């Protein structure tokens, strides 16, 4: 049953993303979706944390996580899509950079994003967000340098995309809204959820490994 719900949730995300990508919103609604989708992550993360703390068990964590993850995928995913659409039509905030350089950076960082997903699958036996929760703690390889290589690589990918499209607006959205929303989610909810699911092993991993900016693993 859980597998069926995960599949249905992922299909729902794809349908909403497709609708958001194909629908032409008026400028005020477009801006509201791009900004509001990111801002919704803050109350959603706080609410999920409160529900988790009310009964801090592995079973509760496994039940709450999919709902929050799919909400983030829908809200933040739609915001990303709308921000990309706005970046393509906005004549303002043009970055004076050769598109070829931005394209190369986008390809390179996209490969790194794929590698982080593959590393999570191999080391944590899981997939991003609620698609499949990791069954063991990923703490080696690139995960030994930073606890969140996927977010770091995705941040680099978005900035590279903004440079490729020469859109200062998209880069500003990435740094000003996407990054704070994801950091708040990580600090408010995910760290607590991983602590509950993996216990002492995660606390030790957290103590020796930085949240985002990479650092050489300690001996």
The predicted pLDDT at position 120 comes to: 80
Say if 40 falls within a structural domain. Answer: yes
- In whole angstroms, what is the distance from residue 81 CA to residue 23 CA? 11
Mapping DSSP onto H, E and C, the string for the chain reads: CHHHHHHHHHHHHHHHHHHHHHCCCCHHHHHHHHHHHHHCHHHHHHHHHHHHHHCCCHHHHHHHHHHHHHHHHHHHHHHHHHHHHHHHHCCCCECCCCHHHHHHHHHHHHHHHHHHHHHHHHHHCCECHHHECCCCCCCCHHHHCCCCHHHHHHHHHHHHHHHHCCEHHHHHHHHHHHHHHHHHHHHHHHHHHHHHHHCHHHHHHHHHCCCCCCCCCCC
Instruction: Write the CATH number for 11.
Output: 1.20.120
Is residue 20 within 8 A of residue 79, CB to CB? The reply is no
Judge whether 137 lies within some domain: yes
**pLDDT of 94:** 81
The residue segments making up the domain with residue 189 are: 2-208
Q: Would you write out the chain's pLDDT as a tens digit for each of its 219 residues? A: 466 777 787 888 889 999 988 888 888 899 999 999 999 999 999 999 999 999 999 999 988 988 899 999 999 999 999 999 888 776 667 888 887 898 999 999 999 999 998 888 776 556 666 666 778 888 888 999 999 999 999 999 999 999 998 889 999 999 999 999 999 999 999 999 999 999 999 999 999 999 999 998 876
Residue 191 pLDDT = 96
Q: Which residues pair with residue 127 across a beta bridge?
A: 132
For residue 182, being part of any structural domain is answered with yes
How confident is the model at residue 195, as a pLDDT? 95
Distance from C-alpha of 196 to C-alpha of 184, rounded to nearest angstrom: 18
* 98 phi/psi in degrees, rounded to 5: -60, 130
Q: Determine the pLDDT at residue 82.
A: 93
Does residue 217 lie in a domain region?
Answer: no
Q: Is residue 219 part of a domain?
A: no
**Position 216 in a domain:** no
Structure confidence at residue 3 (pLDDT): 66
pLDDT value at residue 2 = 64
pLDDT at 1: 44
Q: Which two tokens stand for residue 33?
A: 């979706």
Q: Is residue 214 part of a domain?
A: no
Total of domains in the chain = 1
Q: Is residue 107 part of a domain?
A: yes
């Amino acid at each position: 049953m859980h597998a069926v719900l995960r599949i249905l949730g992922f299909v729902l995300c794809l349908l909403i993303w497709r609708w958001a990508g194909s629908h032409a919103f008026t400028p005020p609604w477009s801006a509201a979706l791009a900004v509001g989708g990111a801002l919704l992550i803050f109350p959603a993360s706080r609410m999920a944390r409160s529900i988790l703390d009310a009964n801090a068990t592995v079973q509760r964590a496994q039940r709450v996580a999919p709902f929050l993850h799919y909400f983030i995928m829908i809200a933040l995913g739609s915001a990303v899509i709308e921000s990309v659409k706005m970046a393509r039509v906005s004549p303002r905030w043009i970055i004076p950079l050769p598109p070829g350089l931005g394209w190369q950076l986008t390809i390179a960082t996209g490969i790194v994003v794929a590698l982080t997903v593959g590393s999570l699958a191999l080391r944590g036996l899981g997939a991003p967000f609620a698609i499949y929760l990791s069954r063991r703690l990923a703490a080696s390889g690139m995960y030994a340098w930073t606890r969140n290589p996927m977010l770091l690589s995705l941040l680099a990918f978005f900035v590279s995309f903004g440079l490729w499209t020469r859109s200062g607006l998209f880069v500003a959205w990435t740094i000003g809204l996407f990054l704070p929303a994801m950091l708040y989610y990580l600090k408010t909810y995910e760290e607590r959820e991983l602590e509950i699911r993996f216990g002492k092993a995660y606390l030790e991993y957290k103590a020796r490994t930085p949240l985002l900016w990479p650092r050489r693993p300690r001996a």
